A and B are shown apart, each in its own frame.
Chain A
Amino acid sequence: MQRIAWKYYPRQQDHNTEQNREKSPASVQLQLMMSSSFNIFRVGISFVIMCIFYKSAVDSLSELSPQKYFSTLQPGKASLAYFCQADSPRTSIFLEELNEAVTPLQDYGISVAKVNCVKEETSRYCGKEKDLMKAYLFRGNILLREFPTDVLFDVNAIVAHVLFALLFNEVKYITTLEDLQNIENALKGKANIAFAYVRAIGTPEHRAVMEAAFVYGTTYQFVLTTETALLESIGNEDIENAHLYFFHCKQVLDLTLQCRRTLMEQPLTTLNIHQFIKTMEAPLLTEVTEDPQQVSTIHLQLGLPLVFIVSQQATYEADRRTAEWVAWRLLGKAGVLLLLRDSLEVDIPQHANVVFRRAEEGVPVEFLVLDDIDSLISHVESNVHVEEIQEDEDEDTKSPNMDVQDDEVAETVYRDRKRPLPLELTVELTEETFNTTVVASDSIVLFYAGWQAVSMAFLQSYIDLAIKLKGTSTMLLTRVNCADWSDLCTKQNVTEFPVVKMYKEGKNPVSYAGMLGTEDLLKFIQLRISCPVNITSVQEAEEYLSGELYKDLISYSSVSVLGLFSPNMTTAKEDFTEAGNYLKGYVITGIYSEEDVLILSDKYAATLPALLLSRHKEGKIESIPLANSHAQDIIQIITNALLETFPEITVENLPIYLRLQKPLLILFSDGSINPQYKKAILMLVKEKHLDSLTPCWLNLKNTPVGRGILQSYFDTMPPLPLLVVVNLHSGGQVFAFPSDQPITEQNLLLWLKKLEAGLENHITILPAQEWKPPLPAYDFLSMMDAAASQHPTRKDPECTKETDVQENDKKQHEDKSAIIKEPIETLRIKHWNRSNWFKEGEKSFRHDNKEL
């Protein structure tokens, strides 16, 4: 835990120190930013990182008699005195806080004393009763204010109140919008305003504002309010938190215009306010002609990124306006510079219009091609955001928190654990009831484990299915918790979870192999009719093909398959039957092998043995010859036939199309697809121009995750509809069909030709990294080694740190690293080096022996 204090030095002795400090190579970024802003006002003020421990080493509250106290007061110096009667325990909490306030107040040149009112020498400041003891603020020997002790409830309140009283002129306290407008009008063309809203006087935020006012109070007009109505009237609803606005009034010359305002987005801390004000002071837009990698501005020192807008002579005016616009938008978040390409010596890629440089050293600059300002802003903001998080972590723990769940399934199931599920809709089976149940009725059995997140997530879908089927299905929905009935699950050959099996008359269980979700399982259950169905007459066959026969099932299977065989084709029939059985639950198959089969084969132009495929949606029936096809081939034929030529791609069906191993041509559409586009693509398919691709479309209304995909391709949402080719299986390039061209057959064809010829540039390449461990693991091995070699140790790490700090006191903050909490021992195992363990092992071994 560190606290930042702004330290006050008397003018005379200060100057040299400051010089030195500014020149010393500061190792920590924080220091850099701290040391860059001196000689601002009054006496030299500097910012020093101080440890909270510092105070314990130095100042403590001095105790004086009234007479003694008044004799120490120096003209012009401020002093806070607490007058109290002989020690009363009730005030001790206040005294503790006061004691803590000694150092920070001394940093501002304010002395603090406890004055003991002894009987002999009473003072008018000594209250008559114990309850009425107060603290008084003097400048010289003039009383400025008196404070009841309950106002000074903690160290923040003490510092805030004292500074507030001293800076009465610099900080204007207002209550109405009118006040604010008056101040604003008065300062237009003259000075900028820092306007702060805090929830109450004496809060840490109030203190931060006052500390800032102490430094910047003469440069900017500080305005403070605690009125929520005032905050709301300038358009901020978030009254729970403190806010700081910077009003850019100095440059406003036309008194009828409002001052531009910039809201500080970080929480109000002394350091953040300082940083914010520094960025407000920095020039809005700088023109540079150097290598972006070499440029340095205050922003980098403050840990903010730089955005270079690339310009050239021809478009300079427009670019400059754009850049200014961007600069305003990014004020306080990033530095904006105009990079003049023509006078630049370094080469930057032709297409890039923005260069982005992160504040971290050693990170190469990024060359971006951005289409509009919004995407630029969001790119910067998303990056800045990440940095902030990282910084926070740096300061708090230094190591990522490995105990935070990052498995989405485990986390969601855990969060949902208290919601009771209507489990009673399914029958819980046990070792005793299992066999009798699955024999007595056709059953679906879900095997799951109560402790396993994935199966518990699926159990919810299963229960949803039970709700859907309630009272309608002849199929009994049951479940077995393998955490309880381990042996039963093993006997049913279930060693992973979850598993769904269908038992008919207790025998030959069929394992469900589809998506673990309500819809797909429902389809599986509905389509369980024995496959293939034996069709006995031509009329029935026609009904079957038209979808009449299994009307209620058509919604689950958009295709009906009918095998046509002469009565004597026994092996072919067997193969088909086997395939039908295999596909049971996924598609309806039927078989027809009566004497009059020729009627059908003639009608549908099929040569026996053959397969008729009826697509109900399109009302089309096609025939596929089956000569010499084995069961496996038939399965393949049918599965392929189930694929559509231009499907709507969904979460459920993508894997089937990925199996084709071809690049995807995806039309992203917000809602249903424009029939013209569909026609164009189907034409291309028909003319076999798309054979090397899998054409499909994605409806963002049905598959909202498509937005996430587009975002990763384009950073921001591009206008829709949009056509992309994603080369998933080789190279990972993503190409976008130019959005300014209408999607027509000709344009598409031309574009695809160019693509094929390699004349199109990809918009992005999908990352090809392996999936690595999201976080490191505990390195117990080295913890054990450490314990073996260094004995009791690390009993109280906090203590050692404190001594460190005290020792380093003189060096001040040079050694920040020493104070930062050491990272707990986490290491990626792959870095563990075999030879090292051996050495370590020997060492610890020897040590042990010695001990014995």
Chain B
Amino acid sequence: MAIRSFLILFILFFFSSLNPILSLYEDQVGLVDWHQQYLGKVKQAVFHTHKTGRKRVVVSTEENVVASLDLRQGEIFWRHVLGSNDVIDGIDIALGKYVITLSSGGSILRAWNLPDGQMVWESSLRGPKHSKSLFLVRTNLKIEKDNIVIIFSNGRLNAVSCMDGEVLWEKDFEGESLKVQQVIQPPGSNLIYVVGFASSSLFEMYQINALNGELLKHESAAFSGGFLGEVSPVFSETVVALDSTGLILLTISFQNGKISFHQMPISNLVKDSFGPAKIIPSSVTGIFAIKMNAVTIVIRVKDESKLEVVEKTNHETSISDALSISEGQQAFALVQHASHEIHLRVKLAHNWDDNLLKESVKMDQHRGLVHKVYINNYIRTDKSYGFRALIVMEDHSLLLLQQGEIVWSREDGLASIIDVTTSELPVERDGVSVAKVEHNLFEWLKGHMLKLKGTLMLASPQDIAAIQSMRLKNSEKSKMTRDHNGFRKLLIVLTRAGKLFALHTGDGHIVWSHLLQSLQKSKVCQHPIGLNLYKWQVPHHHAMDENPSVLVIGKCGPSSDAPGALSFVDTYTGKELSSLSLVHSVAQVIPLPYTDSTEQCLHLLIDADKHAHLYPKTPEAISIFEREFSNIYWYSVEDDNGIIKGHALRGKCTGEVADEVCFETRELWSIVFPSESEKIIAAVTRKLNEVVHTQAKVIADQEVMYKYISRNLLFVATVALKGSVEIGSVTPEESWLVAYLIDTVTGRILHQVTHHGSQGPVHAVFSENWVVYHYFNLKAHRYEMSVIEIYDQSRADNKDVWKLVLGKHNLTSPISLYSRPDVITKSQSYFFTHSVKAIAVTSTTKGITSKQLLIGTIGDQVLALDKRFLDPRRTVNPTQAEKEEGIIPLIDSLPIIPQSYVTHALRVEGLRGIITVPAKLESTTLVFAHGVDLFFTQLAPSRTYDSLTDDFNYALLLITIVALLAAIFVTWTLSERKELQENWR
């Protein structure tokens, strides 16, 4: 009895020694997680290298990031991610210490402190009308030590003080149809020219005093030919434009207020000219470029009106902005692409024939073409000018070139990930050495002594640093082979630039990258868009020698009937195995749960005309597919019309597109939401590969509840039409939110609940038999999270656990979705503090481990929240039995425990998605969060019960064993002595 109670005590102690919260010690940061910071495709770059001290470049990107980079290494000094509708229109450096950004369609002007990124001031600019044309012009005008910037936005010209953001003067341009094309500030004068077109054939010029905004002159002249596109300023009082046909170049000069036109047909300049041209604006004095089809023509303007072609090339060419290097001298860079190399030339604006610099740099083909180039100069030791060029490539990467070398490069394409999938690494073969054995015994001992010191808290700071680096350097982590626990995988990510990257989960390094040909701009496909990634071939069992591959689906252009494009990429080597340009469009992709003999997964592509196309197009795939013909159902959600439809297959295609793999479809059911009162804002279904361990759930009083587990459940949330706008403009009375659970095979609505006084946005996650969704409660003015659990009532009579164990149950009775399901639902709602950007749920191999919700909060952190907190069976005072079962007493809000942020003290800026992948070890799940930043970690929702953790106290184990051994010997000698004494007696 005593021993038994002792044992109970022992077990109690054992469990109390385990920490109830899943958390991290500060020295464990970076052991299993990694964090990478990116910027996105650079839109504009400004160098800051004048002063002594750190050389920087300030960039603004398409991900709305403004950042200051170290020019030597490309590291981020500071970075700010602006709101998604706060698009950056222009940046500049003023006063040598402030970064000025213009954003939100030219209505917000901010200044940031250059050294540390602290915002200094913010101004709101407004104008009389909304217009697209925006300009941020730096001036050298000085008014009492202050610089001013001239901003044209929304039909108003503003002069803003750089010191405190005060608007010094403003001038409206309220001409009815005036489209301002350029704002020119001739250097060294106090004048500003605003030029634009009015009513398509009128050229307007305004001359304004930069010091007080006074209108000095206003001239206009008509040109019967009309104008097309943009203008390019060539001199301070001359611009170049194209006529409305795009065949004649116009040189417009407005010297001394007199407007004069000079026409020059392009065919006179270029012999074999074809088609209309487009002006590529540049700020270089006397030089501009036009583009006709793929031909780029650089033209020099001489003496106001004489045009001269200086270069004509078929290669992709980018021209940098002008850089004034000394008094009256302007330099600019030209970058041309030639297969494996890029040619960089820096020239003086007035001297085309000589090159200041000519370099060729070998370039990885998978970076694509050069999209933008920015140059900066420095003075070499021999007092000549040296140039460095910052180039933005087609794959959104950023490179710094200097002296013919790539000094640094940043893979900023990873800031805009579209889709993620994973792939296993190759199995370890005989040839591959297993683990790196420690070099010698001494080092091994030293390492372990250090670790022992660390665990006994005797280590000095240097020792701690040594231990930390030892842990991080662990070569096991980033090995290129599969590991026993399944922690090492490849993350295959598709970026907006159409580039595929493979990242290693161990440390996040790029294993390979591939610019997909099918997603590149070409003659047939002008605006390719990457859509999705699917696992195409997952070899296991009988196709072990094949490499796994992924399927990349894209389409040409944003319209719904744009033709699709497929690519198949080997995930070990990154080679594109094949690519297909489809004749049909891709509206929906359904990965089928069938594979052929080479482990290729069958995919069904539904086009805009509701035809289904099967891939791979092999006879074997077709025969497999035909066997399962009647079991294939899918649904489609049409948000705009408020219709959800269920579909099934009907038969082979007929008509002109008779194809072996084309199938006709039929509509089974449709749910039409009343368009005047409800609008679909979210539709979520279960993950296809989710594993559920058990259907039965034993509750406190030995009773069993059966989860209603169906892959065909769809959660749909609709809001009242008025509530579909943003928070802050509706009252609780006029907004409501309805949540539906719909069976996608029959179209039956299994459950429906209305939340009055609530509105979107709704973020939801569906797993097993429950759905959790996040929405805004207008009455309480707080966010809420609700859970709906759905249980199968038809098996409720199998209450007895013994019946279940002995097999006397009716679980083997056939299940069909057509029989009316007898389900009950339980639901509960809780307050949640933060806005949410994404919700995901942990997933493990066998589904035994309890689940955690991963909530991406508005602060770009990821919070792990136990599913137990969202259990509809929570009550205010749970009974003893319920407490034993683990039911938490009910409170009105969900707890936010800082230690359970999986991103700990980091932010995943611009968070967009959270992906969970099961590891082979049941207790562990891999979490990848992506946005502008990337973050990866391993999570164990119920702690690692199936393996020893890294911080397992080996020292204590060793001490215990030694102590036990010592005790054995002591007792042995004692007992021996005693026996001897007894024998003598």
- Answer yes or no: do A and B interact: no
Give A contacts to B, CB under 8 Å: none
